[in-house]
Amino acid sequence: MGLEKYQKMFFEKIRKTFCQWRSKECIEEKELYRFLHTLKGTAGSIGLEEVAKTVNEKLSSLSEDSHTIWPTEKWEHFIAPICNLDEYTGHKIIKKEDSQVEISNPQITNSSELDKEFILIIDDDLEFITYTKDLLERQGYSVIVATNGKKGLNLIYDLRPSFICIDIHLPDMNGFNILMRILKKAKKTFIPIAIISADDKVTHRIQTYKLGALDFIAKPINPDIFLAYINNRLEFKQELEQLIVIDELTQVYNRKYMKERLNALIKEYERLGSIFTLVILDLDFFKQVNDTYGHLKGDEVLISFSKIVTQEKREHDIFCRYGGEEFVLLLPNSQASDAHYLMERIKNSLAETPFESDNGSFFVTFSAGIISVNLENLHPEKLLELGDQALYFAKESGRNRSITYHPEINLKKSRREVTIIIVDDDKLIRSMLKNFFSSWTPSNAYTIKVIDFEDGIDFLSSSWYQSSNKYMILLDGIMPNLDGLEVLKEIRKNYDHKDILVSMLTGRTGEEHVIKALELGADDYIVKPFDTNEVAKRVFRLIKRVFT
C-alpha cells in the first residue's frame, strides 16, 4: 500500500484544523504545540521528512504548557515556513525522492533476523538510554531498557538477554548489587556483563573486575568503539556456546546439540526409514513459580525436573533444554504412543516430588506436544513448529497433559492469539497501523487481532481485557483529556503484567516523560516518526520473547 492515501489524510487534517482555528479569535500556545507535535511524528512516518524537520525546528520555541494567546495573524505567520496554506488546501502531495514509498505487509519467516541478540540496558540516564538504544537498534539488535534495579532483575530472568549493561548509580539500588545477584547465573549461560558509569574511578574499575564483570565502560561512549565492543563480546559468546553442548544449569543437552541430533535423525529416516518422535515439554505456570518463590527456587525446579526425565527416559533417548522452562525429547525408534507412555511416567514421578519453600511445599506440572516424523513434516523447523502447536493446544486444553499433533487440531486454537491495541488520537497514525497489522502475518504460530481507540478514556472504559488473552498495546504518549502516561499507570495498576506488553509511541526524545514511562511499566518506546515495517519487527520480537 502506497503512502499517498495517508499523505492526503494528513493534508486534509491540517486544512480542517486551520479552518477551525480561523473561526476563533485566537488559540493558546499549548494548542499550537500539541498540533505541531502530532504533525512532526506523523509527517516523518509517511514520507514527509522535510515537513517533519521544519515542524521540529518550530517546536523548539514553544512550550507545551503555555497559555499564551496567539491571534490568527500571529500563528499563520509562525507556521508559514512550514507549509504554503494554499498548497495544503489543494492537497498537494509531497513524495519522498519523487517516488511512492511503500508500506508492505510481509510474512515474517526469517527467524535469524528476528532472533538477533537481545541486549538489556539497566540505567536511569535518559539521554544515554535513548542514544544507545537507537544506536544498537539501527544495527538490528533488540534493546530493552530498565530504569531501576528491580525491573532490571526481573527482565534478566524473564527475557534471558544475550548482553547486560548495568549503570552503577540507580535510583533503588547500586549496580554492583545487581551484578552480585546475577553473576552466577550469567556465567552459566555465558552472558557478558558490563558495568557502565560516568564515575570513572579506579576503585570502580577494580571492584567491577573483582566482582566478575567482563568490562567497565566509561561514559561518554564512543559509538564506533561501543558497537565494535558489543559485536566482539557477542561473537565470543556464540563461539563459547558452539563449543559447549551441555546446559550448565540442568546438566542435560542444550539447544545446539538438539538441533544437531534432530538433523541426524531426519537424515537417518530419509536413508533407512528409521522412525522417531519429537516431544516438546513445558513446565506449567513456571513464571508464577519464579514470581512467588524466587528465581533460585525456579532453578531448583528446572534441575529436579531434568533429573526426573533423565531417570525415566531410555538411555539412548536425547533430552535437551530448549530454552527457559522448555525442553525437547528426541525418541529414536519410537511412535507417538510410546511417547505418551513415557510422558505419563514422568508425570507420575513429578507429582510425587514436592518442592519446599518458606510458604510450605508446592508441586509443579508440565504439558507436552508430540509429533512423529513422516514424509510431510521432514524438516527440523516443521517438526518443531507442529510439536509447538500440539504443546500450545495442550496448554489451552487445561495443561498437565500430553497432546499428539494431528491435522484435525483446529489451527486457530493451536496458535498463540495476540491482540494488538492501538491507542492514539491521531486518526492517520491509527488508520495506518491498524491497516498494517490487520493483514500482518508474522508466523504460523500466532493469530493477530487488531483494535484501536482514539483516546485513553474510550480505551480504559471499554471491555478490552480478557484474562486468558495476550495483548500488545501501542500507546500514544500525548493525548487530550487523558495523557498516555496516565493510561499506562491505570493499565499497570489494574491488569496482570504478564499478559500485557506496552510500547509508548512518542514524538519526544531526551525528555523526562520517557523515563517516567519506563518507570510506570512501559516495556518499550517507539519514537515518531517511525517505519511501520520496523515497528512490526520490534513488536514481533517482544511477542516472541515474552509470550512464548
Cell 489543494, located at residue: 90
* Domain assignment of residue 410, yes or no: no
Distance, CA of 234 to CA of 231 (rounded, Å) = 5
Domain stop point among 243, 272, 293? 243
* Domain assignment of residue 106, yes or no: no
**DSSP for 272-332?**
H---EEEEEEEETTHHHHHHHH-HHHHHHHHHHHHHHHHHHS-TT-EEEEEETTEEEEEEE
Closest CA to 41 of 533, 452, 506: 506
Closest CA to 43 of 99, 74, 84, 82: 82
Burial track 137-165 (b if 16+ CB lie within 10 A, e otherwise): beeebbbbbbbbbebbbebbbbbebbbbb
CB 394 within 8 A of CB 367: yes
In angstroms, how far is CA 244 from the centroid of its own chain?
A: 28
Query: Containing H/E element for 88?
Result: helix 85-89
CB 119 within 8 A of CB 524: no
Answer yes or no: is pLDDT of 7 > 80.
Answer: no
Q: Domain total for the chain?
A: 4
Residues 293 and 394 in one domain: yes
Domain stop point among 73, 98, 123? 98
Domain stop point among 363, 379, 404? 404
Per-residue confidence (pLDDT) for residue 137, from 0 to 100:
86
Closest CA to 280 of 314, 338, 340, 327: 327
Answer yes or no: is pLDDT of 311 > 90.
Answer: yes
Per-residue confidence (pLDDT) for residue 55, from 0 to 100:
82
Mean pLDDT of 445-465: 90
Among the options 76, 325, 326, 408, which is catalytic? 325
Is 334 exposed, middle or buried (CB count within 10 Å of its CB: 0-12, 13-18, 19+)?
A: buried
Mean pLDDT of 272-295: 92
Mean pLDDT of 195-202: 88
* Domain assignment of residue 137, yes or no: yes
Mean pLDDT of 294-318: 95
Per-residue confidence (pLDDT) for residue 258, from 0 to 100:
94
Residues 472 and 526 in one domain: yes
Per-residue confidence (pLDDT) for residue 100, from 0 to 100:
39
Beginning with the edge strand found earlier in the chain, give each strand of the sheet holding 326-332 in spatial order. Answer: 318-323, 326-332, 276-283, 366-372, 402-404
* Paired residues of 371 in beta bridges: 278
CB 279 within 8 A of CB 331: yes
In percent, the amount of the chain with pLDDT more than 90 equals: 39
Distance, CA of 433 to CA of 45 (rounded, Å) = 11
For the stretch 341-371, pLDDT in tens is: 999 999 999 999 999 988 889 999 999 999 9
Residues 400 and 449 in one domain: no
For the stretch 123-162, pLDDT in tens is: 988 778 878 888 898 888 889 899 899 889 888 887 788 9
* Encoded amino acid at 82, one letter: I
Distance, CA of 256 to CA of 118 (rounded, Å) = 18
Residues 311 and 384 in one domain: yes
* Domain assignment of residue 250, yes or no: no
CATH number at 533 reads 3.40.50.2300
Per-residue confidence (pLDDT) for residue 508, from 0 to 100:
65
For the stretch 480-502, pLDDT in tens is: 888 889 999 999 998 877 789 99
Higher-confidence residue of 315 and 14: namely: 315
* Encoded amino acid at 10, one letter: F
Inter-CA distances, 244 with 193, 248, 453, Å:
20, 9, 49
Answer yes or no: is pLDDT of 295 > 70.
Answer: yes
Using DSSP's 3-state secondary structure scheme, residue 120 falls into: strand
* Domain assignment of residue 104, yes or no: no
Answer yes or no: is pLDDT of 38 > 90.
Answer: no
Is 62 exposed, middle or buried (CB count within 10 Å of its CB: 0-12, 13-18, 19+)?
A: middle
Residues 436 and 309 in one domain: no
Inter-CA distances, 77 with 85, 138, 154, Å:
11, 38, 51
Residues 152 and 28 in one domain: no
> Residue 160 phi/psi, 5° resolution?
50, 65
Find all residues with CB under 8 Å of 11, minimum gap 6, and list them: 88, 91, 92, 93
Which structural domain, as residue segments, surrounds residue 422?
Answer: 416-547
What is the gyration radius of the CA atoms in the chain, in angstroms? 26
Look up residue 117 and give its DSSP letter.
P
Answer yes or no: is pLDDT of 426 > 80.
Answer: yes
Residues 348 and 436 in one domain: no
* Domain assignment of residue 105, yes or no: no
Mean pLDDT of 372-380: 87
Per-residue confidence (pLDDT) for residue 97, from 0 to 100:
41
Residues 396 and 420 in one domain: no
CA end-to-end distance (rounded Å), the chain: 31
Inter-CA distances, 131 with 1, 43, 407, Å:
32, 22, 48
Answer yes or no: is pLDDT of 93 > 70.
Answer: no
For the stretch 387-411, pLDDT in tens is: 988 998 898 888 999 999 988 776 5
Answer yes or no: is pLDDT of 84 > 90.
Answer: no
Answer yes or no: is pLDDT of 83 > 70.
Answer: no
* Catalytic residue flag (residue 325): yes
Answer yes or no: is pLDDT of 116 > 80.
Answer: no
Distance, CA of 328 to CA of 94 (rounded, Å) = 54
Distance, CA of 126 to CA of 141 (rounded, Å) = 19
Residues 456 and 526 in one domain: yes
Per-residue confidence (pLDDT) for residue 277, from 0 to 100:
97
Residues 177 and 268 in one domain: no
Residues 293 and 158 in one domain: no
* Domain assignment of residue 332, yes or no: yes
CB atoms closer than 10 angstroms to residue 53: 13
* Domain assignment of residue 276, yes or no: yes
Residues 388 and 260 in one domain: yes
Per-residue confidence (pLDDT) for residue 480, from 0 to 100:
80
Cell 493534508, located at residue: 11
For the stretch 525-544, pLDDT in tens is: 888 878 888 888 888 888 87
Answer yes or no: is pLDDT of 108 > 50.
Answer: no
Answer yes or no: is pLDDT of 377 > 90.
Answer: no
Specify the range with the lowest mean pLDDT, choosing from 101-105, 415-419, 461-465: 101-105
